[in-house]
Amino acid sequence: MNKNILTKIIINLLLLLFVVVWVLPTFGLFVSSFRDKDLLATSGWWTTFNTNEVNEIYRTKTFEDQIEENGKFFIKGNLLVKNSGKKVISYGITSKEMNKYKINEKAILKNKSEIEISENGEYVWKSDEPFKHERGKRIFITALSPPKFTLDNYKEVLFKEGIGQAFLNTLTVAIPSTIIPLIICSFFAYALSWMKFWGRDTLFALIVASLVVPLQMCLIPLLSIYNDVGALFNIGAKSYPGVWMAHTGFGLASTTFLLRNFIKSLPNEMIEAARVDGATHYDIFLRIIIPLSVPAFASVFILQFLWVWNDLLVGLIFLDQVPSEIILTAKLRELLGSRGENWEILTTGAFVSMTVPLFIFFALQRYFIRGLVAGSVKG
């Protein structure tokens, strides 16, 4: 009894640990991608939610903006950008004494003029003599900056750095590369489970065996064969059909294997009832197997799609590294080389590449839950 509770606690703690280990970096990446690029370079994402003290330098307006009132001269203005949310806490007029004055304290300059700054950044510079300076006076302020998020990184990454195009390229690769094997393999899996033909079990054994053949082994021979055959039909060496076929080929074994195992587990008597009802294999496949296999299709779809989405190798070899063909993973790798310093680009790019897998997972997760067959047979 006590042992059970202890085991439960340990299991739950471990589970929590895994969740944290997985979620925390993702969350950090997510937060980072929305941060200002200057802040990103100097502080960690966890500081985003705090109010930070920042030191900034501004210049006042020049003599042209002075106003004369009762024989005195004023320059008025606001140091801070509108709606920035910052609050000035102290200021200085020389770089040596940046925090000399608190707000609403008057700083007296050498020429006896007075500057006063309030919390919201408004300043009043008062002088008995007319102002003559042509460059604004430098003012050093220390301000409290509230958390600040921006979509600028996304704008830049998607439209300027080419991640947007690469995203579309990857979709162009991934969708056919998932749908085609799913269609082929569903027929194949049905045949392997419910049709009797000579050598069926041997064929299935071969498929299982081919699961262990590493992709890397056949990549180059495959490309060379594809190029030779493509030359006959005047198809370019590196193009989308090639990468679709490659992914389809590499996905066939595992997709067939998973679908076959599911389709085989459907109740035998139900299939026989359909046969007695007069259904041909095609009818059974279309009207019974397909609707009942939706959960299996969904999970195989997820697996194959994520595999293709995250793939770098096949995409590198079967596609040119030009803007119209480069896939997201390859593009990220390229950026890592050329823009390695620009964290805002990398974090945002990485998060863009994660959006689709995350969306797929959350959209299809209910299909992981089986139970569609309940009601067909007793139990």
Instruction: Pick between residue 129 and residue 269 the one whose CB is nearest to other proteins.
Output: 269
Contact call for residue 179 and other proteins (CB under 8 A) = no
Contact call for residue 322 and other proteins (CB under 8 A) = no
Contact call for residue 275 and other proteins (CB under 8 A) = yes
Q: Total residues contacting other proteins (rule CB under 8 A)?
A: 23
Structure tokens at 89: 């806490």
DSSP 94-126: SSS-TT-EETTPEEE-TTS-EEEE-TTSEEEEE
Contact call for residue 65 and other proteins (CB under 8 A) = no
> Quick one: which segment of 55-63, 94-102, 270-278, 317-325 binds other proteins (CB under 8 A)?
270-278
Instruction: Pick between residue 242 and residue 295 the one whose CB is nearest to other proteins.
Output: 295
Contact call for residue 272 and other proteins (CB under 8 A) = yes
Contact call for residue 36 and other proteins (CB under 8 A) = no
Contact with other proteins (CB under 8 A): which of 5, 67, 276, 322? 276
Contact call for residue 374 and other proteins (CB under 8 A) = yes
Could you tell me if 63 and 77 are in contact, meaning their C-beta atoms sit under 8 angstroms apart?
Answer: no
| 3-state SS assignment for residue 272 | helix
> Quick one: which segment of 27-35, 63-71, 278-286, 324-332 binds other proteins (CB under 8 A)?
278-286
CB atoms under 10 Å from CB of 11, counted, come to 10
Contact with other proteins (CB under 8 A): which of 71, 221, 291, 337? 291
Contact call for residue 237 and other proteins (CB under 8 A) = no
Q: Which contiguous run of DSSP H or E holds residue 276?
A: helix 268-276
Kindly report each contact of residues 330-334 with a partner whose C-beta sits within 8 Å and lies 24 or more positions away, as own/partner.
330/166, 331/162, 331/163, 331/166, 332/163
Contact call for residue 270 and other proteins (CB under 8 A) = yes
Contact with other proteins (CB under 8 A): which of 96, 278, 322, 369? 278
Provide the 8-state DSSP code for 47. Answer: G
What residue type is 146 in one-letter code? Answer: P
Instruction: Pick between residue 80 and residue 279 the one whose CB is nearest to other proteins.
Output: 279
DSSP 121-189: SEEEEEESSPP--SSPPEEEEEEEE-----SHHHHIIIIISSHHHHHHHHHHHHHHHHHHHHHHHHHHH
Contact call for residue 366 and other proteins (CB under 8 A) = no
Distance CA 262, CA 328 (A): 33
Instruction: Pick between residue 98 and residue 372 the one whose CB is nearest to other proteins.
Output: 372
Contact with other proteins (CB under 8 A): which of 157, 185, 274, 326? 274
CB of 292 to other proteins, least distance (A): 6
Q: Which residues contact 302 (CB under 8 A, 6 or more apart)?
A: 360, 361, 364
Contact call for residue 298 and other proteins (CB under 8 A) = no
What residue type is 42 in one-letter code? Answer: T
Burial (CB < 10 A; 0-12, 13-18, 19+), residue 343, is: middle
CB of 200 to other proteins, least distance (A): 16
Contact call for residue 369 and other proteins (CB under 8 A) = no
> Quick one: which segment of 17-25, 210-218, 273-281, 317-325 binds other proteins (CB under 8 A)?
273-281
> Quick one: which segment of 53-61, 313-321, 326-334, 371-379 binds other proteins (CB under 8 A)?
371-379
In 3D space, the residue among 145, 89, 142 whose CA is nearest the CA of residue 118 turns out to be: 89
Could you tell me if 304 and 251 are in contact, meaning their C-beta atoms sit under 8 angstroms apart?
Answer: yes
Burial (CB < 10 A; 0-12, 13-18, 19+), residue 184, is: middle
Contact with other proteins (CB under 8 A): which of 24, 273, 286, 363? 273
Distance CA 289, CA 268 (A): 12
Distance CA 24, CA 358 (A): 15
Q: Which contiguous run of DSSP H or E holds residue 351?
A: helix 343-364
Instruction: Pick between residue 221 and residue 375 the one whose CB is nearest to other proteins.
Output: 375
Contact call for residue 372 and other proteins (CB under 8 A) = yes
> Quick one: which segment of 81-89, 284-292, 316-324, 337-345 binds other proteins (CB under 8 A)?
284-292
> Quick one: which segment of 153-161, 267-275, 296-304, 336-344 binds other proteins (CB under 8 A)?
267-275
Q: Which residues bind other proteins (CB under 8 A)?
A: 267, 269-270, 272-279, 283, 287-288, 291-292, 372-378
